[in-house]
């Protein structure tokens, strides 16, 4: 039992029943360390989350894909999470892997099935929000792009064919709640990215209305930097910057209202946009996923405290508990932390899309 900061204790593995590996029950919990010292059969603390790993059905623990290896298409680039292949001059194949980046460093272990969750959740939002702005999805079947069944199987559920667009040089961040770097900025300046806010707001408080706070897109290993709206206009032109701001706020507002009905607060999110040869604006990359947003369970939300999170917060908290300086290479993840994180991604997907 390694003591850690509040939020996540080093997971312990407690074996129940006949002790066979398939029947092991992994417990992870936020809160009191003494909970972990209980023996099999003892009442389990209410704060524990229990993931039962009973004999598996194929859907239970999806196979992990850390890195794709398609040979029938030329690899264009590997991002932190996505492998991108060229199809032709105007289309690309985006494969979302199970890699996870935390503190802008790619972790050495996959989160099994995460790429499929991100793909499914993004596709869900692309369809739902199409009336606000067109998205990069191309109407080309995967079988046409990857005729080899083995290659298709390798990336099933995590590959999309997209229009190759010119990515704009900003991350379009919308904040509905005061948290993270927004909270830090507010404490120092009373504003977030130069947008003045009422005095006396508390940590995690909902803002009077969502605000648009763009940042630069940093290279791998670098950190994004917040910029003002004026700086974003200098980077891409005032007209495009205005279109991006308007679309981002509308996308966030509609998605946040929908998610709230499903018990999820989308505290903030990051969009990416691209333009085609005619200068038409498209939503690209991923949209409103647990990777690109802060998802909070609505029933545990309380102003003044940092809410528990659906997303990779569990992994971040685990990493914070280590003596790691947050530069590459990142430490290995215990299997139970990866599995717990994977389950949280699946839960967010289920809540939003079922």
Ligand X SMILES: Nc1ncnc2c1ncn2[C@@H]1O[C@H](COP(=O)(O)OP(=O)(O)O)[C@@H](O)[C@H]1O
Question: How near is the Cβ of 180 to ligand X at its closest, in Å?
Answer: 17
Q: How far apart are CA 245 and CA 95, in angstroms?
A: 28
Regarding 116 and contact with ligand X (CB under 6 A), the answer is no
Question: How near is the Cβ of 220 to ligand X at its closest, in Å?
Answer: 6
Q: CA 259 from chain center: how many Å?
A: 15
Give the CA angle between residues 80, 316, 218 to the nearest 5°.
35
Q: How far apart are CA 83 and CA 109, in angstroms?
A: 16
Listed ranges 56-64, 73-81, 207-215, 326-334: which one lies at the site for ligand X (CB under 6 A) = 73-81
Listed ranges 24-32, 34-42, 75-83, 120-128: which one lies at the site for ligand X (CB under 6 A) = 75-83
Listed ranges 80-88, 143-151, 195-203, 248-256: which one lies at the site for ligand X (CB under 6 A) = 80-88
Q: Which of 274, 290, 307, 308 binds ligand X (CB under 6 A)?
A: 274
State the pairing for strand pair 12-15/281-284.
Answer: unpaired
Total residues binding ligand X (CB under 6 A): 16
Using the minimum distance from each CB to ligand X, give the nearer residue, 10 or 76.
76
Question: How near is the Cβ of 11 to ligand X at its closest, in Å?
Answer: 27
Question: How near is the Cβ of 138 to ligand X at its closest, in Å?
Answer: 9
Give the CA angle between residues 296, 297, 300 to the nearest 5°.
110
208 half-sphere exposure, CB direction, 13 A CA radius: 8
Using the minimum distance from each CB to ligand X, give the nearer residue, 62 or 274.
274
Q: How far apart are CA 251 and CA 272, in angstroms?
A: 12
Task: State the virtual CA torsion across 272, 303, 2, 102 in degrees, nearest 10.
Answer: 10
Regarding 105 and contact with ligand X (CB under 6 A), the answer is no
Regarding 79 and contact with ligand X (CB under 6 A), the answer is yes
Using the minimum distance from each CB to ligand X, give the nearer residue, 33 or 79.
79
Question: How near is the Cβ of 193 to ligand X at its closest, in Å?
Answer: 20
Regarding 107 and contact with ligand X (CB under 6 A), the answer is no
Using the minimum distance from each CB to ligand X, give the nearer residue, 86 or 254.
86
Question: How near is the Cβ of 270 to ligand X at its closest, in Å?
Answer: 10
Q: Which of 109, 185, 268, 285 binds ligand X (CB under 6 A)?
A: 285
Report yes or no: 164 and 91 within 8 Å, Cβ to Cβ. yes
Indicate the angle between helix axes 229-236 and 238-261, nearest 10 degrees: 120
Using the minimum distance from each CB to ligand X, give the nearer residue, 252 or 273.
273
- Per-residue contact string for residues 141-180; x = within reach of ligand X by CB under 6 A: ---------------------xxxx-x-------------
């Amino acid at each position: 039992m390694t003591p850690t900061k509040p939020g996540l204790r080093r997971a312990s593995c407690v074996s129940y029943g006949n002790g066979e590996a398939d029947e092991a029950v992994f417990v992870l919990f936020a809160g009191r360390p003494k909970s972990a010292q209980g023996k099999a059969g003892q009442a389990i603390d209410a704060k524990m989350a229990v993931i039962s790993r009973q004999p598996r059905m194929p859907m239970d623990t999806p196979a992990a894909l850390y890195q794709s290896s398609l040979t029938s298409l030329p690899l264009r680039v590997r991002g932190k999470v996505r492998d991108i292949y060229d199809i032709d001059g105007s289309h690309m194949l985006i494969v979302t892997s199970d890699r996870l980046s935390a503190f802008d460093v790619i972790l050495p272990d996959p989160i099994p099935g995460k790429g499929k969750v991100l793909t499914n959740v993004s596709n869900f939002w692309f369809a739902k929000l199409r009336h606000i702005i067109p998205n990069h999805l191309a109407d080309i079947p995967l079988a046409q792009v990857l005729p080899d069944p083995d290659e298709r199987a390798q990336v099933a559920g995590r590959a999309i064919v997209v229009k190759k667009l010119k990515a704009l040089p900003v991350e379009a961040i919308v904040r509905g709640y005061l948290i993270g770097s927004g909270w830090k900025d507010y404490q120092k300046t009373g504003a977030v990215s130069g947008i003045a806010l009422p005095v006396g707001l508390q940590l995690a408080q909902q803002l009077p209305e969502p605000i648009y706070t763009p940042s630069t897109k940093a290279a791998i290993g670098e950190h994004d930097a917040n910029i003002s709206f004026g700086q974003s206009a200098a980077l891409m032109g005032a007209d495009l910057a205005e279109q991006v701001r308007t679309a981002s706020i509308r996308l966030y507002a509609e998605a946040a209202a929908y998610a709230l009905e499903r018990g999820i607060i989308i505290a903030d999110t990051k969009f990416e946009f691209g333009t085609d040869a005619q200068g038409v604006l498209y939503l690209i990359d991923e949209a409103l996923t647990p990777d690109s947003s802060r998802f909070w369970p609505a029933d545990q939300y309380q102003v003044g405290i940092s809410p528990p999170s659906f997303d990779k917060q569990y992994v971040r908290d685990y990493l914070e508990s280590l003596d790691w300086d947050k530069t590459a290479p990142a430490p290995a993840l215990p299997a139970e932390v990866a599995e717990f994180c994977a389950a949280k991604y699946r839960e967010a997907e289920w809540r939003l899309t079922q």
